[in-house]
Structure 1
Amino acid sequence: MFKFEIHGDNISVTDAIRNHIEEKVSKLERYFTNVPEATAHVKIKTYQDSKSKVEVTIPLKNVTLRAEERHADLYAAVDLIVEKLERQVRKHKTKVNRKFREKGVEKEIFPSLPEIEEVKEESADEIEIIRSKQFDLKPMDSEEAVLQMNMLGHDFYIFNDAETNATNIVYRRKDGKYGLIETNK
C-alpha cells in the first residue's frame, strides 16, 4: 500500500485535494502482484497565471515512476498524471516480463490482469543505440563544465571533478538553469 507525502507551494493542501490524490494514485496498486511498501511523493505548486503543477514520484525497488503535469484545473492535472503513470507501469510491465520470458524464467513482476492491455511493442519503443562516442574526461570544476557544455551547444556535459576526481554531469534544466549530478565512488 502506498503512503503519501503531499506538499504544496503557494497552496494549502485541503482534505479534498488530499483525498482526490490518494484515491487516484492508489489505483496504480492494482498493477502489482504484491503492492510494494512505497511512498508517493506529491508536490503541488500554483503559479500567478492560475495554473497548477503537480509532480508525483513513486520510487520502487526496480523502477521509479515519475510524472509531472501543468493544468489550469488541479484535479484534471492529477487525473492526467495518473494516466501517465499507468502508461509507464504498462510499458515497464511488458518489457520486464518479456525479458524474463526470453531468459526462460517464468516470473512476472506485475500481474496479468484481464483489464490491463499489454503494450504493443513498436519499433519506436525499442531501445536502439545508433551512435557511440568515446572521449577523455578532463578534470575541471562545474562552472567550467557548464561553459564547455554551452560552447558545444549540448544539454548535458560529463566531466571529472578536479577536487574529488569523481565523474559528474552538468545539465540544462527546462527552466533554463543548470543542474549538477554528482557520483559517489
Structure 2
Amino acid sequence: MQSNIRGENIEVSDALKNYVEKKMNKLQRYFEQPIFEANVRLKVYNDEQHVEVTIPMSRLTLRAEEIHADMYAAIDLVVDKLERQIRKHKTRVNRKYRQEGSPKHVFAEIEKENGTLLTEQEEDQFEVVRTKRFNLKPMDSEEAILQMNMLGHTFFVFTNATTNNTNVVYKRKDGKYGLIEPS
C-alpha cells in the first residue's frame, strides 16, 4: 500500500513516515485486492496531534480521524478505528456485492483472526428504530442553521429557496457549519 503522508504544522520525519506506513500496511490483510493508496494527514495545533486517514476505493471510502497529545498514539488510535470500520462493514458490503452479481468481495475473510465472528447482533446495529416525516420548507442556509440551533440538532434538512434542491446543513467538530448540496 502506498501512503501519501502530508504534514501540516509538522515536518514528517523518516521515523514518523515509516511508522505510519507500517501501521497502514497492517490494514492490507483485510482486503483481497491490494489497496493502492491511503491519504494520511498529520496536523499539529497547540498541544493536539491530529491524524486523518482516507482510503479511497472503487465503491467505498474508508475515513477516520483521531486527536491525541502524542502523534504515535493518535496513529495507533486511527488505525484501530479503521479496523473496527472494516470489521463492522465487511459482511454488509460483501453481501451487497453478491446481490449485485459481482463475484469479487471488497474485504477478505477475517473470521479466523482472533477467533472473532461477525454475529447477527452486530449486524442489527444498523436497525432503524424511528422514522420522522416532515415538510421541507424553502429557506436559505443561514435560516436553516438558525432552525438547527433552535432545535438543538447537529444537522438540518431543508429546501434551498434559490436552487429549489434539498440541502443539508450540519455542525462540524470545529464548531463551524457545513452545507451539503446535490451536484
Q: TM-score, normalised by structure 2?
A: 0.85
Q: As a proportion of its length, which structure holds more helix? A: 2
Q: Which residue of 1 aligns with 2:2?
A: 3
Determine the C-alpha separation between the residues in 1 that align with 2:74 and 2:124.
25
Q: Which moved more, 1:107-116 or 1:126-135?
A: 107-116
Q: Is the 8 A contact 1:94 1:118 kept in 2?
A: no
Determine the C-alpha separation between the residues in 2 that align with 1:106 and 1:4.
28
Q: Which residue of 1 aligns with 2:59?
A: 62
Q: Is the 8 A contact 2:43 2:50 kept in 1?
A: yes
Structure 1's 47 and 128: CA in aligned 2 closer, same or farther, altered over 3 A?
same
Q: Which moved more, 1:137-146 or 1:89-98?
A: 89-98
Shift of the alpha carbon at 1:99? 5.4
Shift of the alpha carbon at 1:122? 2.3
- Determine whether 1:94 maps to 2:91: yes
Q: Which residue of 2 aligns with 1:46?
A: 44
Determine the C-alpha separation between the residues in 2 that align with 1:8 and 1:29.
23
Q: Is the 8 A contact 2:49 2:69 kept in 1?
A: yes
Shift of the alpha carbon at 1:137? 1.4
> Which deviations, in whole Å up to 9, do the C-alpha atoms of 1:90-121 show, x marking residues without a partner?
12113234557789997643222432633334
Instruction: Give secondary structure in 1 for the equivalent of 2:6.
Output: strand
Q: TM-score, normalised by structure 1?
A: 0.84
- Structure 2, unpaired ranges of 5+: none
Q: Which moved more, 1:125-134 or 1:84-93?
A: 125-134
Determine the C-alpha separation between the residues in 1 that align with 2:16 and 2:97.
39
Determine the C-alpha separation between the residues in 1 that align with 2:43 and 2:101.
46
Q: Which residue of 1 aligns with 2:140?
A: 141
* Counterpart AA for 2:78: I
Q: Is the 8 A contact 1:90 1:118 kept in 2?
A: no
> Which deviations, in whole Å up to 9, do the C-alpha atoms of 1:117-153 show, x marking residues without a partner?
3333426852221221222212221111111111222
Q: Give the superposed CA RMSD.
A: 2.5
Q: Which moved more, 1:138-147 or 1:116-125?
A: 116-125
- Structure 1, unpaired ranges of 5+: none
Determine the C-alpha separation between the residues in 2 that align with 1:110 and 1:121.
18
Determine the C-alpha separation between the residues in 2 that align with 1:80 and 1:51.
14
Structure 1's 125 and 20: CA in aligned 2 closer, same or farther, altered over 3 A?
farther
Q: How many residues align?
A: 181
Q: Is the 8 A contact 2:144 2:158 kept in 1?
A: yes
